[in-house]
Structure 1
Amino acid sequence: MSGFEPALCTVTFRKMPAERILELAVHAGLAAIEWAGDAHVAPGDEPVARNLARLCEKAGLATSYGSYVAPPTDDLPVFRRALDSAIALGASNIRIWPGTRQRDSKDYSEGERRTAAVAIRGMGAEAARHGVTVSLEYHPQSLTDESDSARRLIDAIAHDNVYLYWQPRPGLPLGEALAEVAQIGEHVSHVHVFAWDADRNRFPLRSASDYWRTVLAEMSASRWTGRRFAMLEFVANDDPAAFFEDAATLRHILER
């Protein structure tokens, strides 16, 4: 078994009501939900977060908060609003985006990288005061758009409450994916799971079952000590039927 549990990012169904997403997750046999900060739980909207916390607890689902805070563009006060929502949601983890959105890591100066690392370190320390971990999105056009930059950043942050997510760039060959998780796996908390080609066409997860089974099995041992979630993110045609099929595939991958 991989050690990861199956979960869902609600950005998968951005326009769907939160209560309906929760029903889908329960029926799909998932263990957790990462609630999107730009769709279902807005930063600072604590009443909505508390209501979803109650519903998730009743359903036996753990929670994470997928914020779109992007330090250093966003500062500590902006992060605190998102953190308040994460706390109200009962989330053990908050995701943030490292660096300016839609900017390649290769375009940063060393000074800009240091500024980002300092800002993220401060956010990690603030979240630690409330028992919430911070994880950095791993995504094209960010400071974690490839493993060398991600490793340099996490080393510069040097805070034991800050971790990395991992996901493959669309179309990333298996060999390169394995090289990435070997390099940064010790810092990885959770992963985002999907089946896309290089042109971002979406496919059933079963078409990438061997890919994901191999990657998760080869993931380096991590300093992360909490529950680990493999979070479905996006499905073909945004279709709930496709989601149920992918969720069944994901459970099968994780059980072997």
Structure 2
Amino acid sequence: MRCRMNSFKLGLCSVTFRKMSAAKVVEIAKKAGVNYIEWGGDIHVTNTEEARIVKSVCDNEGIKICSYGSYYRVGCADKSKWEEICRIAKIMNASSVRVWLGEKDSEKTTQEEYIRILEDLKSICSVAQKYNLLVCPECHDNTYNNNTDAFLKIKSELREDNFKTYFQSRYFRFDYDIDRIERTFDSIENVHVSYRDLAREQRFRKKDKHYLDRLLKKLSEMNFDGVILVEFTKGSKEKHFLKDIKKLKSY
């Protein structure tokens, strides 16, 4: 089974190569022939000066910065840091800032915690709007955005046009993945593609060799126009990343 992905935009998350310099990350992206990078705020871009540096390096190599992985935990973080996060993203000319919604699965989030998340979202979306930025929660366990219904609920109550989401597979729940794509498609800004094995290291699924193929085929059929970002690769090794991108380009 193969889907045609020629029109898809491919990139990488800098977190894939935490131990490498920003310049090396750009070099790898260039070597792989991908045009986008999501820079993480944990290591590579922690302040405005580092943002200027990576922007310059990316510009010189023709690499676009699609997003800033801020690790801002909505409803739990120091709100005073958000404006700086937006400034960093703007300097890099990123179109979105990736965040986490809370610190619990939606099923475990209390009403009080939910209200706190919602109010913080309203605040940060308002600030982000001044910088022409989207706010995009990662689709992740141990956050409120751990399932489709939770995302749709908070989106409907938030009512902010610059609030979107990421998509990433739950791996063992194909029907869920397809349903999530269909029901949230208009809100999906970018997609994280990862590796995973039983030790919880991120890897492409092995038990069903067509699992990823079918997910990408669905996105292709719906004319997804965001960026497919490789978030983790086997052993954080360049050689494995290059193989991953080669695989993605082969569809």
- TM-score norm. by structure 1 comes to 0.87
Counterpart of 1:113 in structure 2 is 114
State whether structure 2 residue 97 is matched by structure 1 residue 99. no
Counterpart of 1:47 in structure 2 is 49
C-alpha contact 2:139 2:166 (8 A) present in aligned 1: yes
Of residues 13, 19, 24, the one that matches 2:23 is 19
Q: Pairwise mapping of residues 140-179 of structure 1 onto structure 2 (< 5 A)? A: 140-169=141-170, 171-179=171-179
Displacement of 1:216: 3.0
Report the identity percentage: 25
Compared with structure 1, are the counterparts of its residues 204 and 218 closer, same or farther at alpha carbon in structure 2 (3 Å cutoff)?
closer
C-alpha contact 1:195 1:207 (8 A) present in aligned 2: no
Counterpart of 1:244 in structure 2 is 242
State whether structure 2 residue 15 is matched by structure 1 residue 30. no
Unaligned runs of 5+ in 1: none
Post-superposition CA distance 1:5-59 (Å, at most 9, x none): 10100111111111101000011010100011001001xx111110111111121
Q: Which amino acid aligns with 2:90?
A: I
Q: Which amino acid aligns with 1:48?
A: E
Q: Which amino acid aligns with 1:94?
A: V
C-alpha contact 2:13 2:229 (8 A) present in aligned 1: yes
Q: Which amino acid aligns with 1:242?
A: H
Post-superposition CA distance 1:216-238 (Å, at most 9, x none): 3324959x9xx511000111111
Displacement of 1:148: 1.7
Compared with structure 1, are the counterparts of its residues 184 and 199 closer, same or farther at alpha carbon in structure 2 (3 Å cutoff)?
farther
State whether structure 2 residue 191 is matched by structure 1 residue 191. yes
Aligned length: 245
Cα distance between partner residues in 1 of 2:58 and 2:124: 26
Compared with structure 1, are the counterparts of its residues 50 and 209 closer, same or farther at alpha carbon in structure 2 (3 Å cutoff)?
farther
C-alpha contact 1:147 1:180 (8 A) present in aligned 2: yes
- TM-score norm. by structure 2 comes to 0.89
Q: Which amino acid aligns with 1:49?
A: A
Cα distance between partner residues in 1 of 2:101 and 2:78: 12
Displacement of 1:140: 0.6
Indicate the SS of the match to 1:125. helix
Q: CA RMSD in A?
A: 2.3
C-alpha contact 1:204 1:236 (8 A) present in aligned 2: no
